């Protein structure tokens, strides 16, 4: 008898397929089973959820699962605060957690795709929800044609039909630019990113795709779960943290969650960045990565990461600095090894103020073949001089 599996919006189709195969001991790719499972998945998502929440995205290093730990640690060591700068925001889930009437959040990420998502969720610009409803209806029913996106990504990360639909929708959003506000445009692009991330033929990043997979033939954009009432005064930025740090006003809490190994985010999320920017650059290689992607490489993925970190900390103007840095070093493969040693981190932070370290056990979101062991997620909390 087949074991039932529960479907939640946090999962994407390929997670569910994997769980189903494992729980029913199915080795090969059966088109029939995949089809039933996908229809089931699509129906459940369709019936149960009519919006995307900010944490419905797969992202390397996302802190969704340790938000409570971050909150508890802050409550323990920081008596009060009213501004929170999340300077390596990624998905934005940490900033989102601290986004309320009492706390002004400032988000920043060097990737434009993350900026678009942060702007959609956190900006205090007004937007017309009815207009978004109409536009979602229009875009979901668009007539797909061949385009840059389908030429670059079809039969890799998406089926031909889906790739055509993604590119056609993105082009249509671009063509609407003078009829919709910046926020409305970014809400639509974010909805597109979230919708396709759920059905992408990947294990969570776009370095590679799964071979011989049956790929879903459709997807649906939805509203975003936005609460504008908390967004007053938020600031959303798209810069290199080390450049931004000199220009920004002092804050109560500066939260740092830099990449901690050699994997460049632009390489893992090139497809999402390409779609968000929509400059249609030349692409190369099996995964069709943008040829100009190296412009977005982060210094925190290099062996010299500590130099960038020291520069950032020296220039930082904050009452408290909190660094998230796990103790993955030497537990995963080479690519997973941390770029900064504990000794160096402690030296730099102790120069800036008094330091405490909080830690919690965590099983990370693992991608690819590396079977990562449980490790400690640590928060280095520095009260500055």
Ligand X SMILES: C[S@@+](CC[C@H](N)C(=O)[O-])C[C@H]1O[C@@H](n2cnc3c(N)ncnc32)[C@H](O)[C@@H]1O
The least distance separating ligand X from the CB of residue 311, rounded to whole angstroms, comes to 11
> HSE-up of 65 (CA within 13 Å, CB side)?
14
Report the site for ligand X in 26-65 (rule: CB under 6 A). Answer: 59, 61-63
Closer to ligand X by Cβ: residue 61 or 204: 61
Strand ranges, E, within the chain: 51-52, 83-86, 104-108, 223-224, 235-237, 251-256, 283-284, 289-290, 318-324, 353-362, 375-384
Taking the complex as a whole, how short is the minimal distance between the CB of residue 346 and ligand X, in angstroms?
20
Helix (H, G, I), strand (E, B) or coil at 262: coil
Least separation in angstroms between residue 254's CB and ligand X is: 13
- Looking at residues 90 to 149 of the shown chain, list those that interact with ligand X (rule: CB under 6 A): 90-91, 93-94, 108-111, 114
What is the C-alpha to C-alpha distance for residues 110 and 223, in angstroms, rounded to an integer?
25
How near is the Cβ of 172 to ligand X at its closest, in Å? 27
Regarding 168 and contact with ligand X (CB under 6 A), the answer is no
Q: Does 257 bind ligand X (CB under 6 A)?
A: yes
Q: In 3-state terms, the chain is what percent helix, strand and coil (to 5)?
A: 45, 15, 45
CB of 91 to ligand X, least distance (A): 3
> Do 305 and 329 contact (CB within 8 A), yes or no?
no
* Piece of 4-12, 88-96, 217-225, 355-363 that binds ligand X (CB under 6 A): 88-96
**d(C-alpha 247, C-alpha 257), whole Å:** 19
Rounded distance between C-alpha atoms, residue 285 and residue 385, angstroms: 49
Least Å distance between CB 245 and ligand X?
Answer: 9
| DSSP codes of every residue in 165-189 | HHHHHHHHHHHTTTTS-HHHHHHHH
Regarding 311 and contact with ligand X (CB under 6 A), the answer is no
Q: Does 226 bind ligand X (CB under 6 A)?
A: no
Contact residues for ligand X, defined by CB under 6 A: 59, 61-63, 88-91, 93-94, 108-111, 114, 240-242, 257-259, 265, 298-300
């Amino acid at each position: 008898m087949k074991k039932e599996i529960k479907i939640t919006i946090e999962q994407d189709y390929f997670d569910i397929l994997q769980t189903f195969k494992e729980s029913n001991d199915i080795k090969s790719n059966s088109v029939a089973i995949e089809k039933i499972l996908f229809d089931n998945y699509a129906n459940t998502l369709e019936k149960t959820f009519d919006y995307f929440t900010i944490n419905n995205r797969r992202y390397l290093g996302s802190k969704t699962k340790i938000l409570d730990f971050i909150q508890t640690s802050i409550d323990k060591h920081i008596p009060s605060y009213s501004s929170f700068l999340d300077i390596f925001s990624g998905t934005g889930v940490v900033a989102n957690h601290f986004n309320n009437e009492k706390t002004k959040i400032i988000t920043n990420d060097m990737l434009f795709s993350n900026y678009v998502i942060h702007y959609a969720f956190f900006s205090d610009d007004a937007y017309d929800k009815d207009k978004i409803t109409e536009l979602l209806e229009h875009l979901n029913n668009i007539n797909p044609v061949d385009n840059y996106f389908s030429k670059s990504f079809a039969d890799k990360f998406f089926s031909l039909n889906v790739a055509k639909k993604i590119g056609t929708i993105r082009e249509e959003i671009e063509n609407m630019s003078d009829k919709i506000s910046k926020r409305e445009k970014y809400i639509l692009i974010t909805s597109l990113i979230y919708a396709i991330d759920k059905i992408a033929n990947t294990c969570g990043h776009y370095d590679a795709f799964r071979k011989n997979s049956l790929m879903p033939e459709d997807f649906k954009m939805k509203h975003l779960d936005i609460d504008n009432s908390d967004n007053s005064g938020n600031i959303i930025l798209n810069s290199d943290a080390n450049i931004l740090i000199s220009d920004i006003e002092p804050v109560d809490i500066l939260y740092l969650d830099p990449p901690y190994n050699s994997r460049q985010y632009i390489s893992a999320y090139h497809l999402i960045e390409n779609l968000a920017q929509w400059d249609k650059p030349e692409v190369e290689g099996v995964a069709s990565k943008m040829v100009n992607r190296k412009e977005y490489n982060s210094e925190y993925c290099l062996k010299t990461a500590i130099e960038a970190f020291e520069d950032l900390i020296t220039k930082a103007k904050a009452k408290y600095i909190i660094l998230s840095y796990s103790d993955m070093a030497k537990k995963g493969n080479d690519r997973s090894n941390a770029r900064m040693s504990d000794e160096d981190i402690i030296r730099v932070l102790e120069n800036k103020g008094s330091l405490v370290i909080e830690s919690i056990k965590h099983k990370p979101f693992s991608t690819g073949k590396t079977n990562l062991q449980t490790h400690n997620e640590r928060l280095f909390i520095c009260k500055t001089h």
